[in-house]
Structure 1
């Protein structure tokens, strides 16, 4: 473990694991909190509405005794009167209970609440009425808890409400869990396939969402591309090794031969072999390095006028059978952005690939400013993969991409195949 990893572990602790199971638990807990919070708000609003409704009913009930109190006073002039089990009338403020006298004066024609939520809470309705030409005060009182217009037991009502809330939370959590499982099952299946390392295409069930199916298709495409690139890299390394080993072997062999003979002519011949092999190896290294760097050489290579002397035709046909003719045709004033060493490597690979599959007939090389073709009369592609048809084709394809050309190889109509390079820029 690096020092930075240890320091981060000390500062922040173990990083959180975000697997599907834990995400599901967090989702259920979150929805449970939301459900409880929402249910509490609804329950609180419902309870408050019941309380306010009861207060309104008490006010209406208290005001309904105004006429009864005035008629009672007309029949019997007493300072106080018990009009019902819960309603008391006071015809003089001096007879009000002491704790209510401290709250005087009360607003006329309006119900005043005193300690509404207490057991000793009261409602006082103050009005005035005419008796024998005199305005007399009237105070009607009622306890805030003397009459229950709702259920007889608030505890029972609250218990039932809480049970209903718990039931709704359980049902909601069950529904969320089931929906989450159905939604994430294809993801879990795909993750299992990724971790198992099983070769082959990734698959998801048909019930999966379209975006997940698209992701699966992209994963399969990426896997195939990765396998193809890995195979091409291996072939590239094999080809590069072969291209470098051959001139090195020639240099070593010629150097050893030089020490065996002092003949000037022999020495000159071996020296020429060494220089030629070293030059070829230098050109090969330059081309391979250019491929590895993946530079857009088309942007910094000036076109040059190609001539027959620029093509090392003799080097291409060393292993050519006698029954196979090699023809070169260069269009007049043809200009290419390939450097000579790159052009010769491309043609060498294409011609040697054609020689491998041509027993008799001819191999024709045609060069123009925007197109290069190598056509043979051999066996053709024979249904094999283009990359496997010749290791050198991988180098050709890489060079074409680097210099802004398009490379394709296809069977001829009657016999053989044609490798075609066309300018794309």
Structure 2
């Protein structure tokens, strides 16, 4: 499962704040636990050392002749006879050969530090027991609360420090990203409004903003040039084409023989094909999404047959047979000139690649496929090598969000396919 905690920059500041707060709390809790543990450990070790010092004092006094119970100080008493040790310590120390630690009993209100050992007098082993009221010098609740408050203050200082660092980090690294994203959503396509950046942002964001503004100006200039080209080229190309079509009509009115009639027919077909190409090519450079504006329509079998008829002159010269198999008609947004451009380019490339045999065209509601019997893509694995017109086909298919593919046919030749839907 992918970790998505820091995937969204718009909520990154809040998530970082939560993250750093949890880290500070975890560090504070660990510090508190370690501090209390170290405090109690140091108290126990100090009590043990105190009792060892009292042990030496007790041994000295017992060897000097004192016996029974010796009060070392206000906290500690020493015993050299188990019978003198008060309950419940008596039963506890009898089972110990050596012991030095803090103990507590349910019958006693406090804990005591107990030492169990022995000393020798004239070669005789004598037991030694020391009991100290260690609770009287250990930290109480107030002292522990004071120590805990110090730790809490340190935690709050850490959280405050993390908050300040996070605020500065957000202003310089995170907020600029959100600002750029917001500007792209609000007026990303409006080239008249430049991208802006806060003065507190990092220098790299100012550089990025300047580059984005520069690139957008360049793209805008290119679009303007394309629009100008579309306007001027439309006029400059259509004017001579109109002259050719008009002259062809004038020639057809006179007395002409069969050869001249064939030439006039070829001129009419070529003029119509050129007009279709001009309309289609100019639509590629116009700054508009015509596939969204054009209504959805049915691409009929009759329209496909007409396209095949207009683009199969070379097939007649090669004596190639073109077979059409129609299962159903697809729904498209492309205009008739665009469909003529698409299928016409594919068909002419298939005819050019095939020297003999047949070309098969299949149409369903999902795709149109053209099968040729040429040499395939063995020597030219890229679709670019199978005809420059296919580059235009690929661009048009991307414009209408179709998939165009050119693959080898297992039976020989190639398969050019336009997939309208998945």
- TM bin, normalised by shorter chain, reads 0.5 to 0.7
Q: CA deviation at 1:248?
A: 6.1
Q: Which residue of 2 aligns with 1:57?
A: 46
Q: 1:140 to 1:71 in 2, by over 3 A?
A: same
Determine the C-alpha separation between the residues in 2 that align with 1:100 and 1:254.
Answer: 133
Q: Which residue of 1 aligns with 2:255?
A: 264
Tell me if structure 1 keeps the 8 A contact 2:119–2:128: yes
Matched, 1:218 2:211: yes
Q: Pairwise mapping of residues 61-76 of structure 1 onto structure 2 (< 5 A)? A: 61-73=50-62, 74-76=64-66
2:76 to 81, 84, 87: 87
Q: CA deviation at 1:238?
A: 3.7
SS at the partner of 2:126?
Answer: strand
The count of residues paired between Structure 1 and Structure 2 equals: 276
Q: Pairwise mapping of residues 13-412 of structure 1 onto structure 2 (< 5 A)? A: 18=8, 20=10, 22-73=11-62, 74-78=64-68, 80-96=69-85, 97-98=87-88, 101-102=91-92, 104-108=94-98, 111-115=100-104, 120-148=110-138, 153-197=143-187, 199-205=192-198, 207-238=200-231, 241-242=234-235, 245-246=238-239, 249-250=242-243, 253=246, 257=250, 261=253, 263-265=254-256, 275-276=266-267, 278-279=269-270, 282=273
Tell me if structure 1 keeps the 8 A contact 2:76–2:130: yes
Tell me if structure 2 keeps the 8 A contact 1:28–1:177: no
Q: CA deviation at 1:37?
A: 1.1
Q: 1:19 to 1:186 in 2, by over 3 A?
A: closer
SS at the partner of 1:55?
Answer: helix
SS at the partner of 2:138?
Answer: coil
SS at the partner of 1:65?
Answer: helix
Determine the C-alpha separation between the residues in 2 that align with 1:119 and 1:29.
Answer: 45
Determine the C-alpha separation between the residues in 1 that align with 2:61 and 2:6.
Answer: 79
Q: 1:149 to 1:279 in 2, by over 3 A?
A: closer
SS at the partner of 1:106?
Answer: coil
Q: Deviations over 1:28-66 (max 9, x none)?
A: 121111111112212222222221111111011111112
Q: 1:32 to 1:152 in 2, by over 3 A?
A: closer
Determine the C-alpha separation between the residues in 2 that align with 1:273 and 1:238.
Answer: 30
When the two chains are superposed, the root-mean-square deviation of aligned CA atoms in Å is 4.4
* Alignment TM-score, normalising by the size of structure 2: 0.52
* Alignment TM-score, normalising by the size of structure 1: 0.52
Tell me if structure 2 keeps the 8 A contact 1:113–1:124: yes
